[in-house]
Amino acid sequence: MNSAAATGSTMLMGLIQMSVKKNKPANLTRCAQLVQIAAKNGARLVALPECFNCPYGTEYFAEYAETIPGESTEFLSKLAQQFKVWLVGGSMPERDGDKLYNTSTVFSPTGECVAKHRKVHLFDIDIPGSITFKESETLSPGNSFTTFNVDGFKIGLGICYDIRFPEMAQAYAKLGCQVLLYPGAFNMTTGPAHWELLARSRAVDNQVYVASISPARSVDADYIAYGHTLCVDPWGCLVAEADETEQIVYAEIDLNEVKSIRQQIPVSQQKRSDLYQLQFKK
Ligand SMILES: NC(=O)CC(=O)C(=O)O
C-alpha cells in the first residue's frame, strides 16, 4: 500500500464516457451497467457525462426534460444506493415550471441528493462555416455555485461551457475545493482545440484536480461529441484520458498532492489584492 492510501488521502474516480442514444430507457439501462462496472472496480465516486439520458441538442431538451426529483434522478438515487458510490449524474434537461435548465445532480451512497447544479454559462457560440449553437434558445441559466464533500475532498461542480470561465473555477478554489468536475460535451471543432487545454489551465490556475466527462462520440448524432474524458492533476499533468469510444476512465486523486503543490508554489497566498480581486456577488 502506498503512503497516500495508508493515510486515507486518496480516492478513485470512475469517469463514465457513455454512448448516449435517443432512447431514454436504453440510456438508463446502459448507465446502470456502467456504474456497476465502475463500482466493482473500486470507484468511490462515479461521474456521468453531460446529457447522459438524452441526445445533446436544443431540439431535444424540451422533449426529454423532467422535473427533479423525477424518473431519472430517482433512478440515479437508487443506483448510488445499490452500488454504494457517490454518483455525479452528469447532466440532464430539467423542467421547472415553464423554464428548462441543463442540470447536474449528485447522490450519496445512501441515495440522498446532496447537490444540484444548473449550468451557469449557456453555450451560445457562432463559428461561421463550422458550428452555431444557442442553448439560450431553450434553456435558462443557473445562478449559483455548487459544491459538495466526499471523504475529505471538497468538490466544485460545473457543466461543460462553465469550464471556459476561469473566475468560476477560481471561486471554487477560494471556497476550498481541491477537485472540479465538469460533465461536458465539446464538439469536433472546439474539442480538439480546447478540451484538454481548458482542463489543464483550470487545474494549474487553481492547483486542483479537474475531470471533464464527455459522452462517447457517435458519428450518427446531430451533435458529435469529442469524447476524450480526462482527469488532470494540480500540476497540470494528465492522470488519465479516453479516446472517443465508450469506456470508463479511472483516476486516483490525492489530497496530499494538492497540499504539496500548493506549498511548493503558493500562488493563492501571493495574489495582489491591492491590484485586483475576485468578487463574489452571491
Ligand atoms: N457544449 C458546451 O457547453 C461547451 C462547448 O462545447 C465548448 O465550450 O466548446
Q: Quick one: CATH architecture of 10-267?
A: 4-Layer Sandwich (3.60)
What was the pLDDT predicted at 225? 98
Residue nearest to atom 3 of ligand 1 (CA): 161
Residue 133 has pLDDT above 70, yes or no: yes
pLDDT band at 2 (very low <50, low <70, confident <90, very high): very low
Q: Is 164 in the pocket of ligand 1 (CB under 6 A)?
A: yes
ipTM exceeds 0.85, yes or no: yes
Residue nearest to atom 5 of ligand 1 (CA): 186
Q: H/E element holding 250?
A: strand 247-254
What was the pLDDT predicted at 3? 44
Say what angle helices 24-40 and 71-83 make with each other, to 10 degrees. Answer: 20
Average pLDDT in the chain: 97
What was the pLDDT predicted at 248? 98
Residue 187, strand partner residues: 225
Taken in order 35, 38, 39, 45, is the CA torsion positive or negative?
A: negative
pLDDT per position as a tens digit, 18-63: 999 999 999 999 999 999 999 999 999 999 999 999 999 999 999 9
What was the pLDDT predicted at 282? 85
Residue spans per domain, the chain:
10-267
What was the pLDDT predicted at 48? 99
CA of 40 to the centre of ligand 1 (A): 31
CA of 121 to the centre of ligand 1 (A): 10
Taken in order 188, 190, 193, 195, is the CA torsion positive or negative?
A: negative
Which of 235, 249, 161, 248 lies closest to 205 in space, CA to CA?
Answer: 235
